[in-house]
């Protein structure tokens, strides 16, 4: 009986050896690849967290500088964010904040460049749209009508279409195109949520052009 069991065990060992000779390398490399992938995933997550923390710190520094009115520190913090963490939402949000600070200090050229970077490079469609709307406003003030109109005429997220139409109306009106301006304001009025206070501003623009919305539309 013992001999029979010994023979069975020996056969099992031999089968195991044969199996390992045939598939051992494949199994080993598969395990290695799985472990490497797991390590890489953990490493990537750590790197992402680390980058996010560093970007957050720079954003906080920019926010504090903006509140203090230190435009030089604002510009430096944004440049650091743009150079080191360009694909983070922090960089895009910092660009919008920096541009506002630069406008307040009369540094319009720097503000335009900052907004243009966000409009072109941000990974967030909504932030790109906000940057384009604000940049179009600066260009409108400078009478750069064609460039301003191009910024708000395509690739606008649906949530921003009302504001984009309003901006197009402003640009058309500045050029003396009253009919085109009225059409854009009407689009804006229809697109904006009735609960938004800004809808009343668009209503006032339409009224000034002799195209006040009807009572039902106002409601």
Please, what is the end-to-end C-alpha distance for the chain in angstroms? 96
> Which of 123, 152, 177 represents a domain boundary (last residue)?
123
- Domain span at residue 182 reads 136-213
Question: Does residue 30 lie within any of the structural domains?
Answer: no
Predicted confidence (pLDDT) per residue in 156-173, tens digit:
999 999 999 999 999 999
In this structure, are 147 and 193 located in the same domain? Answer: yes
For 18-66, the DSSP string reads: HHHHHHHHHHHHHHHHHHHHHHHHHHHHHHHHHHHHHHHHHHHHHHHHH
Dihedral, 80, 82, 84, 88 alpha carbons, nearest 10: 130
Co-location of 96 and 164 in the same domain: no
pLDDT in tens, 88-115: 888 899 999 999 999 999 999 999 999 9
In tens, the pLDDT along 124-144 reads: 899 999 999 999 999 999 999
* Interval 52-82: pLDDT, tens: 667 788 888 888 988 888 889 989 988 988 8
Which of the listed residues 61, 88, 123 is the one where a domain comes to its end?
A: 123
């Amino acid at each position: 009986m013992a001999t029979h069991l010994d023979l069975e065990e020996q056969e099992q060992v031999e089968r195991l050896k044969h199996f390992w000779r045939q598939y051992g390398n494949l199994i080993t490399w598969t395990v290695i690849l799985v472990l490497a992938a797991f390590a890489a995933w953990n490493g990537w997550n750590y790197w992402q967290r680390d980058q996010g923390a560093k970007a957050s710190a720079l954003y906080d520094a920019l926010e504090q500088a903006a509140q203090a009115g230190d435009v030089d520190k604002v510009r430096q913090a944004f440049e650091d964010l743009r150079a080191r963490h360009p694909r983070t939402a922090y960089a895009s949000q910092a660009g919008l904040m920096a541009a506002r600070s630069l406008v307040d200090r009369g540094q319009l050229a720097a503000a335009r460049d900052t907004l243009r970077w966000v409009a072109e490079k941000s990974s967030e469609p909504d932030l790109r749209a906000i940057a384009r709307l604000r940049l179009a406003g600066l260009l409108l003030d400078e009478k750069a009508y064609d460039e301003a109109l191009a910024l708000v005429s395509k690739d606008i997220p649906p949530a921003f279409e009302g504001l984009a139409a309003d901006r197009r109306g402003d640009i058309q009106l500045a050029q003396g195109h009253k009919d085109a301006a009225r059409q854009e304001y009407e689009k804006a009025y229809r697109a904006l949520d009735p609960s938004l206070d800004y809808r009343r501003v668009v209503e006032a623009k339409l009224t000034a052009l002799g195209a006040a919305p009807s009572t039902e539309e106002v409601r």
